[in-house]
Amino acid sequence: MLSVYEVTRVAGGKPIVDRVSAKFERGQLSLIIGPNGAGKSTLIKLLSKQLRPDAGTISYDGMDVSGSSHRDLAKIRAVLSQNIEVSFPLRVWEVVMMGRYPHFAGKPGAADERACQEVMQFFDVADMADRDYLSLSGGEKQRVHFARVLAQIWFSVSGRNRYLFLDEPLTFLDIYYQFEFMGKLRELLKMGGLVIVGVVHDLNLAARFADNILLLHEGKVLACGSKTEVLTRENIKTAFRLEPTLVRTDDKSMHLVFE
Amino acid sequence: MPAKPLASPYAGIVPVLAIVLVVIAGFSIRFGAVEIAFGDMVSALRKAWSAPDSLQLTERIFLEIRLPRALACILVGASLAMGGVLMQALFRNPIVEPGLVGTSSGAAFGASLYFVLGAALKFHAGEWTLPIAACLGGAAATALVFLVSATTTANRESTTGLLLIGIAVNALFLSGIGFFSYIARDPQARSITFWNLGTLSGASWRGVLLLGVSTSAGLVVALRHARQLNALMMGEDEALYLGVNVGRLKLTIIAVNVMIVAVATSITGIISFVGLIVPHLLRLMKGSDNRFLLIGGVFVGAILLTLADIVARLVLKPAELPIGIVTAAVGAPVFIALLRGRRYQF
């Protein structure tokens, strides 16, 4: 379980993330939503320890992350960001193998090879394993990075939970791949021992796939819980300054329509 | 379905490069004012161990002039190529060369300072004085580039800012070299000129020893960080997510670059384009894994500089041309051709 307690991050004298507390359970897909400038991206960077909080603590299964090195964290925590640029030509499998770097010294072992093969199958990039990464389309590149990031935490290290953070990774994907990727995340959660926390822009995507939603507004938690608890007309209107119409369909999913 | 094994594209190339290097180095040693037969080389090596007093003249030329020169050429080529690989990986930019952060011009400045003012400064460390002066100059210029960029650029990680400051600091040190060669007496000025153009004519066993230590130590440290440099190809954030301490990595790589480039420059003067072109050639051949670029770079850098040395001695035979003129004359068009047919962006 990922616990966030009273976490604050200040930039330019202004709190970007302001005394945020939350808990993210394993086996659940937790998505962070909020308007521009609400602190979503900063919060996810704090969770992955790319940024350090000015106050408060973040712990993975009770272990305070401020006390662990990036090297150790990299074995159990992976981050998928948007728009990653690779500056030099590499084969697709070489990019995916980078995900295994925290796990081996010298040459990749059998487990590293197996992890790469399995994630490439899982994300349908096995066919392009030998292609030049730079020759791929934007969507293909992003799928290669999904595979790389998952390779990093494909196997559990001594039975510990693994943490996957998503920093708006769907921004440059079309609707088909957005749904495809969310579906893959649900499949991964079934494997167990995985905590997934992501930032998304699209409220309907959150409504469709999230088990748990955290709504940020001006650096503070405005609401947190299931989609019916969080995605209310009042909450959305406060955060986004637009009043939605909530449409429920028979398969218990929910849509927000703005007019 | 059993998946296809992930085949390394890099297998088998190093033995080929090693054989090419040995053959070319053999010809480089053989050729010169006096031709040395391959048989004489073998007998000289044998006698050097058992009976050093019975060496013939050609055997002594081989042992005291040709062999150290060939080895120095190999080690300098290797050092410059490694420096190029490291700087390009660090800046994530394929048009960077080791001299861009000030190292080469600083080393040349240190050397000119020694040529002109060495006697007056009362700074003496025997035969080591020139290399020490060059290394100090190289380290000082590099440190200046990084200090200025750390305190002026809003984003300390900004590569563009660092490169621009590198250009300014290079210009400053080159003007210092120009000043020294202007006030210098004739023989001093000639030494400085040779230095700025690069020459292997001063190679000695002492230089080979120094180069051997710096090149091999640099290679060992660089190889230990090769995978972290690979992760850096995706940017500093991604490298951090993969557990890389980016700040420490940068310092280590810059320190290695200063050491190998300053030592190489201290022996030969400024030799340009080798560090720029070798990583390009290797990437075009096989790919961008930095382990491969470093090991392959050692060989390809050595091969190219040995070829350049042969050309430098052929053009004005029996006189010889500074090798830096050859590398720049050949390197510039090759570089432009590479850019025109480029496969990757920057």
Q: What is the pLDDT of residues A94-104, one digit of tens each?
A: 999 999 999 99
Band of residue A82 on the pLDDT scale cut at 50, 70, 90:
confident
| In the block, residue with structure tokens 């006189």 | B319
| CA B150/CA B147 separation, integer angstroms | 5
**Beta strands, E only, chain B:** none
Is B234 close to A98, i.e. CB distance below 8 A?
yes
Select the residue of B9, B345, B346 nearest A91 (Cβ to Cβ): B9
- Look at residue B226 and tell me if it is in a domain: yes
**Bridge partners, A246 (sequence order):** A256
Task: Note the CATH number of domain A1-73+164-174+191-259.
Answer: 3.40.50.300
Is A126 close to B3, i.e. CB distance below 8 A?
yes
Band of residue A184 on the pLDDT scale cut at 50, 70, 90:
very high
When pLDDT is averaged across residues A17-44 and rounded to a whole number, the result is 93
Is A89 close to B283, i.e. CB distance below 8 A?
yes
Three-state SS for A224? Answer: strand
What are the chain A neighbours of B288 within 8 Å (beta carbons)? 88-90
This model's pTM is above 0.80: yes
Q: Find the CATH number of the domain harbouring B90.
A: 1.10.3470.10
Distance from CA of B73 to the nearest CA of A (A): 29
Question: What's residue B247's pLDDT?
Answer: 87
Band of residue A177 on the pLDDT scale cut at 50, 70, 90:
confident
Residue A220's φ and ψ, nearest 5 degrees, are -110, 160
What are the chain A neighbours of B94 within 8 Å (beta carbons)? 87-88
- For chain A, give the longest Cα–Cα distance: 58
Question: What's residue B124's pLDDT?
Answer: 66
For residue A210, the 8-state DSSP code is -
What six digits make up the tokens of B80? 């410059």
Has residue A185 got a pLDDT over 90?
Answer: yes
What is the domain range of residue B92?
A: 13-340
* Phi/psi-derived region of residue A219, left when phi > 0, alpha when psi is between -120 and 50, beta in every other case: left
Would strands A2-11 and A14-24 be described as parallel, antiparallel, or unpaired? antiparallel
Is A91 close to B287, i.e. CB distance below 8 A?
yes
What are the chain B neighbours of A129 within 8 Å (beta carbons)? 4, 6
Chain A nearest-CA residue for B227: A101
Return all residues near A17 (Cβ < 8 A) that are at least 6 apart: A7, A8, A9, A39, A42, A43, A46, A53, A219
- Look at residue B345 and tell me if it is in a domain: no
What are the chain A neighbours of B154 within 8 Å (beta carbons)? none
Q: How many domains in chain B?
A: 1
ipTM of the complex model: 0.91
Q: Which of B308, B320, B315 is nearest to B272 (CA)?
A: B308
Q: Evaluate the CA torsion angle B313, B318, B319, B325 in order and state its sign.
A: negative
Lowest mean per-residue pLDDT among A35-49, A67-81, A166-180, B331-345: B331-345
Q: Where are the domains of chain A?
A: 1-73+164-174+191-259, 77-155
Question: What's residue B2's pLDDT?
Answer: 45
- H or E element that contains B70: helix B67-91
For residue A38, the 8-state DSSP code is S
Over chain B (346 residues), the average pLDDT of each successive run of 10 is: 62 90 93 82 84 82 90 96 93 80 87 80 70 86 85 62 85 90 83 81 87 96 95 91 92 90 87 90 87 95 95 84 89 80 56
Q: Which of B123, B98, B97, B93 is nearest to B111 (CA)?
A: B123
Chain A nearest-CA residue for B285: A89
Spacing of C-alpha B276 from chain mean position: 10
Question: What's residue B4's pLDDT?
Answer: 58
> Is the CB of residue B289 less than 8 Å away from at least one CB of chain A?
yes
What six digits make up the tokens of B135? 């290394």
> Is the CB of residue B94 less than 8 Å away from at least one CB of chain A?
yes
| CA A51/CA B219 separation, integer angstroms | 33
Distance from CA of B200 to the nearest CA of A (A): 33
Question: What's residue B342's pLDDT?
Answer: 62
Is A98 close to B7, i.e. CB distance below 8 A?
no
Spacing of C-alpha A111 from chain mean position: 24
Chain B nearest-CA residue for A120: B3
Is B243 close to A90, i.e. CB distance below 8 A?
no
More confident residue, A21 or B129: A21
Question: What's residue A192's pLDDT?
Answer: 85
Residue B230's φ and ψ, nearest 5 degrees, are -60, -45
> Is the CB of residue B241 less than 8 Å away from at least one CB of chain A?
yes
Band of residue A115 on the pLDDT scale cut at 50, 70, 90:
very high
| CA A193/CA A183 separation, integer angstroms | 18
* Cis amide linkage into residue B318, ω under 30° from 0: yes
Q: What angle in degrees, to the nearest 10, is found between the helix axes of B290-315 and B205-224?
A: 160
- Look at residue B7 and tell me if it is in a domain: no
Work out the angle at residue A107's Cα, subtended by the Cα atoms of residues A84 and B254, and round it to the nearest 5 degrees: 60
Question: What's residue B1's pLDDT?
Answer: 40
Average pLDDT, whole number, for chain A? 91
- Look at residue B346 and tell me if it is in a domain: no
- Look at residue B148 and tell me if it is in a domain: yes
Q: Cβ(B152)–Cβ(B165) under 8 Å?
A: yes
* Phi/psi-derived region of residue A161, left when phi > 0, alpha when psi is between -120 and 50, beta in every other case: beta
Q: What is the pLDDT of residues A130-159, one digit of tens each?
A: 999 989 988 899 999 999 999 999 999 988
More confident residue, B121 or A183: A183
The percent of residues above 90 in pLDDT, for chain A, comes to 66
> Is the CB of residue B247 less than 8 Å away from at least one CB of chain A?
no
- Look at residue B237 and tell me if it is in a domain: yes
> Is the CB of residue B223 less than 8 Å away from at least one CB of chain A?
no
Q: Cβ(B258)–Cβ(B183) under 8 Å?
A: no
When pLDDT is averaged across residues A236-252 and rounded to a whole number, the result is 83
- Look at residue B5 and tell me if it is in a domain: no
